[in-house]
């Protein structure tokens, strides 16, 4: 286990270094932010002065070396737009806003999916199954933008402000964005669990368990679900990455001050330090989530060995 | 002989514009417009975005201005019509050809109690012109406007007494009061003690609102500053709430969770306006959106040895006559935009109305033919010497909003109708800036973009073609450059207005760009919000706004 973790950590370091290096050079290929910071009526001399102030007039290799040394100290430089430490800017958007929203959506999309998927599979062809499949189809087809606006109009406007239309900071603020963010992954998980359950319910070991006289609940939840849940775990890992990094539409509709909108605004503004710090955080999250999923796999399926 | 009289007239104009701001009696009013108000209420204003920073020196764009001008004030203020009003300066006047004098408002204090006086102004001029930064021990910051490069003729500034500052120039500069007077001023002692970063983190100004909390990308909270020199705001607290999505802003207003929203999409304005619970108000803005065309000489961009294809004024004029602006404004903007043939926004000092460019495709084709562009092979595209008349249109998609994007598409079709082959190149705004900055716009290139202003005076917009900048792709010919320079130097107000009017007419006829529309900005607010008057400025003014009980 220890050697596995060490190997994965080394692998993670290489991945993160590769990603930040790639992004460092990629963003610079698209030009620099000096022209963004000056008035459109600025002359070339004014733009050059701004480039010098930002240190962008130095050789690219020098900038890269400085960058590598600095990130070793956790210093990603100052945000060009806000003139504040870039990593601090990224982290204050990550925690709590993005982390809480992603966690809430993840819990909703997995916890609710299990009974719905199981019910749908165990009542195959019945009305529960039909309703579950139809609802899943609808939730997956609805654009998050549209669903969000509809939820706002219903819960905030039609129901006289039952839930807030915007903002963050309380459980009431969290409900609508979390539901919107969870909708598509929830539907996906329900369908995955349903199809996985249908597959394993016909397996020999399930028949054996039933023949041994185990209660149906035990057969389903202890034997069948454990195997049916493996694909869900993989998808959930990917979904978590998406929820942490790419909830831009949800953040825009609900004015949620998260990481997605920050990074998306930093890209056209050529705010290099924020882009680099943001990508670094995303890379670390993705690597950590993937590692977590791998470890969970071994718990759920003893046939998978870390070696 | 006329110059001294002119100076006196200008001074008199400035003084006439100045009147002591009427202060409230000791107790603020309990009712306005015959309605009882709630002085302890909180006004929640939904804005499309948060500001990136609060230091005015970094920049005063349309988003930042809204936040910064609640906290900081400038020497020159504006009223609801956009006319200059006394701000931190009571008067401003040219005491001679090359000297401007600002008389400062007495008794003004920053939010931490630091007095505002001539030393404050000199310190701010130092920051603006990047002088004495080492002496004060403060850092330089990347700034939107570099005064030392924009106004190299400003030679020095001096304190006459605690309430008087003079600025010396090497030549007459008619609009210096505007150029210097609209920059928000920061406290001297506080900035030196805490550094320029503090202006961003914990901004302290002289304005009517104190910033008390800033949750980035979420909200900024203000409290009425009771030490304000003018009439105190009529609500105790105010919150700027970021709601990026227009439909969500409207939903929040309908739910009663915000009191006022900005940037109402024109398509939603009529529906909101019919509801008695809301009011929709609008104001013409300085933002003008244009089609810029490459008319630069070959030595002024990365040309590959070719002059800009649109250097010929008749071609640009033809393109102007190809555009049906009335249709664009009616169909795309729901009537909430202005067709303005002047290079100066209708709400700026010195604006002179110009004859509109009539929508006349036949005339457009005739002008193109006069310039040698004819459809010789019947393919619907004008050509000359075997080269088709092509416009490579660089278009910053999703930057200025949906209506702008739709408008660009309409413009493309209108240009095609008169024989211009348009190749649309959608790109992000940052990439467009890189193209303009590096001078790599093709010889037959153009771009659609919008231009606004933080100034009151027309000079800020007529200077667009005087020096090579990101947006200047059709530089003034010598006669127009001379006329522009004379407008800058003419300090006699009446004469200067005449010169400015003449300059605008000549620019209109020379047609450096294809003006498309001038923005009208829409706001909606709850009927409980009283006395909100939108400005033709980049910011909103909440000093007189009240909330009905």
pLDDT digits over B444-483, tens only? 999 999 999 989 999 999 999 999 989 999 999 999 999 9
B-chain CB neighbours of A57 within 8 Å are: none
Average pLDDT value for residue range B8-26:
43
Q: What is the pLDDT of residues B483-540, one digit of tens each?
A: 999 999 998 889 999 999 999 999 999 999 999 999 999 999 999 999 999 999 999 9
Strand partners, B447: B292, B394
Compute the nearest-CA separation of A71 from chain B (Å).
22
Of A280-284, B259-263, B422-426, which gets the smallest average pLDDT?
A: A280-284
Helix axes B493-510, B2-17, angle to 10 degrees: 90
Binning pLDDT at 50, 70 and 90, where does residue A245 land?
low
Between positions 253 and 272 of B, the ones with CB within 8 A of A are: 254-258
Q: What is the pTM for the complete model shown?
A: 0.87
The answer to whether B283 and B519 have CB atoms below 8 angstroms apart is no
d(CA B259, CA B243): 13
Contacts of A126 (CB under 8 A, 6+ apart): none
d(CA A116, CA A194): 8
Instruction: Tell me whether residue B24 is exposed, middle or buried, using C-beta atoms within 10 angstroms of its C-beta: 0 to 12, 13 to 18, 19 or more.
Output: exposed
B-chain CB neighbours of A153 within 8 Å are: 251
Of A192-206, B5-19, B232-246, B428-442, which gets the smallest average pLDDT?
A: B5-19
Closest CA to A276 of A6, A20, A7: A20
Rounded to whole angstroms, what are the CA distances from B34 to B42, B91, B251? 20, 34, 29
The full DSSP string for A189-201 is HHHHHHHHHHHHH
Compute the nearest-CA separation of A61 from chain B (Å).
21
Considering only alpha carbons, which residue of chain A is nearest residue B433? A35
3-class secondary structure, A289: helix
Closest CA to B122 of B60, B61, B168, B91: B168
The most distant pair of C-alpha atoms in chain A lies apart, rounded to whole Å, by: 85
d(CA A9, CA A12): 5
**ipTM for this prediction:** 0.82
The answer to whether B514 and B293 have CB atoms below 8 angstroms apart is yes
d(CA A79, CA A85): 6
A125: left (phi over 0), alpha (psi -120 to 50) or beta: left
Q: What is the pLDDT of residues B300-318, one digit of tens each?
A: 988 888 999 999 999 999 9
d(CA B257, CA B236): 17
3-state SS of A200-253 is HHCCHHHHHHHHCCCCHHHHHHHHHHHHHCHHHHHHHHHHHHHHHHCCHHHHHH
Phi, psi dihedrals of residue B215, rounded to the nearest 5° = -100, 110
Binning pLDDT at 50, 70 and 90, where does residue B267 land?
confident
The DSSP symbol for B56 reads G
Compute the nearest-CA separation of A1 from chain B (Å).
42
The most distant pair of C-alpha atoms in chain B lies apart, rounded to whole Å, by: 80
Lateral strand order in the sheet of B89-96: B89-96, B99-104, B164-169, B154-161
Q: What is the pLDDT of residues B350-364, one digit of tens each?
A: 999 999 999 999 999
Determine the pLDDT at residue B6. Answer: 45
d(CA B365, CA B378): 14
Closest CA to B379 of B421, B320, B425, B413: B421
Average pLDDT value for residue range B429-439:
88
Q: Do B58 and A269 touch (CB under 8 A)?
A: no
Any chain A CB within 8 A of the CB of B248?
A: yes
Any chain A CB within 8 A of the CB of B434?
A: yes
3-class secondary structure, A159: coil
Q: What is the pLDDT of residues A247-305, one digit of tens each?
A: 778 888 899 998 888 888 888 788 889 999 998 988 888 888 888 888 877 777 777 66
3-class secondary structure, B193: helix
Q: What is the pLDDT of residues B99-147, one digit of tens each?
A: 999 999 999 999 999 999 999 999 999 999 999 999 999 998 888 788 9
In B31-188, beta strands by DSSP E = 31-32, 35-36, 42-47, 76-78, 84-86, 89-96, 99-104, 154-161, 164-169
> Which residue of A39, A56, A160 to mutate against B (max B Cβ within 10 Å)?
A39
Q: From the centroid of its chain, how far is CA B184?
A: 14
Determine the pLDDT at residue B483. Answer: 97
Is residue B13 over pLDDT 80? no
Considering only alpha carbons, which residue of chain B is nearest residue A158? B255
């Amino acid at each position: 286990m220890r050697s596995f973790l060490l190997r994965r950590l080394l692998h993670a370091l290489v991945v993160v270094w590769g990603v930040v290096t790639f992004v460092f050079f990629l963003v610079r290929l698209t030009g620099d932010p000096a022209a963004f910071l000056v008035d459109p009526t600025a002359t070339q001399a004014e733009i050059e002065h701004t480039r010098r102030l930002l240190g962008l007039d130095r050789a690219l290799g020098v900038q890269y070396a400085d960058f590598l040394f600095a990130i070793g100290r956790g210093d990603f430089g100052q945000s060009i737009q806000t003139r504040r430490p870039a990593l601090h800017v990224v982290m204050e958007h990550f925690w709590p806003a993005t982390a809480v929203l992603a966690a809430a959506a993840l819990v909703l999309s997995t916890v609710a999916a299990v009974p719905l998927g199981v019910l749908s599979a165990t009542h195959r062809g019945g009305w529960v199954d039909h309703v579950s499949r139809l609802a899943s189809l609808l939730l997956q087809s609805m654009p998050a933008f549209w669903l969000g606006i509809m939820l706002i109009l219903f819960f905030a406007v039609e129901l006289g402000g039952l839930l807030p239309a915007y903002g963050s900071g309380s459980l009431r603020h969290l409900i609508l964005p979390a539901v919107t963010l969870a909708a598509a992954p929830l539907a996906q998980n329900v369908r995955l669990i349903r199809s996985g359950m249908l597959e394993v319910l016909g397996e020999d070991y399930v028949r054996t368990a039933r023949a041994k006289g185990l209660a149906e609940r035990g057969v389903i939840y202890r034997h069948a679900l454990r195997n049916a849940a493996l694909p869900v775990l993989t998808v959930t890992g990917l979904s978590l990455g998406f929820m942490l990094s790419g909830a831009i539409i949800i953040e825009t509709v609900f004015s949620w001050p998260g990481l997605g909108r920050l990074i998306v605004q930093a890209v056209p503004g050529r705010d290099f330090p924020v882009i680099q710090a943001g990508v670094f955080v995303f890379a670390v999250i993705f690597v950590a989530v993937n590692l977590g999923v791998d470890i969970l796999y071994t718990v759920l399926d003893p046939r998978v060995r870390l070696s | 002989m006329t110059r001294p009289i002119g100076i006196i007239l200008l001074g008199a104009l400035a003084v006439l514009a100045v009147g002591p701001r009427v202060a409230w009696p000791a107790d603020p009013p309990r009712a306005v417009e015959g309605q009882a108000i709630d002085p302890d209420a909180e006004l929640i204003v939904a804005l499309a975005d948060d500001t990136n920073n609060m230091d005015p020196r970094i920049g005063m764009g349309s988003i930042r201005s809204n936040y910064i001008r609640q906290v900081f004030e400038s020497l020159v203020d504006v009223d609801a019509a956009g006319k200059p009003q006394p701000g931190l300066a009571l008067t401003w006047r040219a005491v001679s050809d090359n000297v401007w004098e600002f008389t400062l408002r007495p008794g003004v204090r920053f939010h931490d109690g630091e007095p505002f006086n001539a030393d404050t102004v000199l310190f701010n001029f130092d920051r603006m012109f990047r002088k004495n930064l080492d002496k004060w021990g403060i850092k330089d910051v990347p700034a939107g406007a570099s005064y030392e490069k924009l106004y190299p003729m400003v030679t020095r500034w001096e304190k006459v007494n605690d309430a008087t500052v003079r600025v010396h120039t090497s030549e007459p500069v008619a609009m210096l009061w505007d150029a210097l007077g609209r920059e928000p001023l920061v406290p001297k002692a506080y900035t030196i003690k805490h550094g320029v970063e503090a202006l961003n983190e914990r901004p302290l100004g002289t304005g009517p609102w104190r910033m008390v909390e800033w949750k980035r990308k979420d909200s900024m909270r203000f409290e009425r500053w009771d030490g304000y020199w003018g009439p105190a705001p009529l609500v105790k607290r105010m919150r700027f709430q970021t709601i990026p999505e227009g439909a969500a802003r409207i939903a929040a207003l309908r739910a009663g969770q915000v009191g006022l929203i900005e940037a109402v999409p024109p398509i939603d304005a009529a529906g909101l306006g019919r509801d008695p619970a809301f009011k929709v108000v609008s104001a013409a803005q300085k933002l003008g959106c244009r089609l810029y065309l490459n008319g630069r000489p070959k030595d002024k961009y990365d040309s590959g040895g070719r002059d800009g294809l649109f250097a010929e004024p008749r071609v640009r004029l033809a393109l102007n006559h190809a555009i049906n602006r009335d249709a664009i404004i009616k169909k795309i903007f729901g009537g909430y935009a202005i067709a303005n043939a002047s290079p100066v926004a209708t709400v700026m000092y010195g604006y002179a109305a110009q004859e509109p460019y009539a929508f006349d495709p036949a005339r457009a084709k005739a002008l193109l033919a006069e310039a040698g562009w004819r459809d010789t092979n019947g393919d619907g595209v004008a050509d000359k010497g075997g080269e088709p008349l092509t416009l490579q249109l660089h278009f910053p998609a999703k930057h200025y909003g949906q209506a702008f994007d739709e408008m660009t598409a309409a413009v493309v079709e209108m240009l095609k109708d008169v024989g211009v082959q348009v190749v649309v190149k959608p790109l992000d705004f940052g990439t467009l800036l890189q193209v303009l900055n590096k001078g790599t716009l093709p010889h037959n290139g153009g771009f659609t973009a919008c231009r606004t202003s933080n100034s009151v005076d027309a000079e800020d917009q007529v200077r667009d073609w005087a020096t090579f900048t990101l947006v200047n792709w059709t530089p003034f010919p010598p006669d127009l450059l001379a006329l522009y320079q004379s407008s800058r130097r003419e300090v006699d107000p009446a004469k200067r207005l005449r010169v400015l009017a003449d300059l605008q007419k000549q620019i209109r006829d020379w047609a450096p760009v294809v003006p498309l529309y001038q923005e009208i900005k829409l706001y909606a607010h709850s009927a409980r919000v009283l006395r909100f008057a939108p400005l033709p400025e980049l910011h909103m003014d909440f000093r007189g706004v009240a909330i009905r009980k």
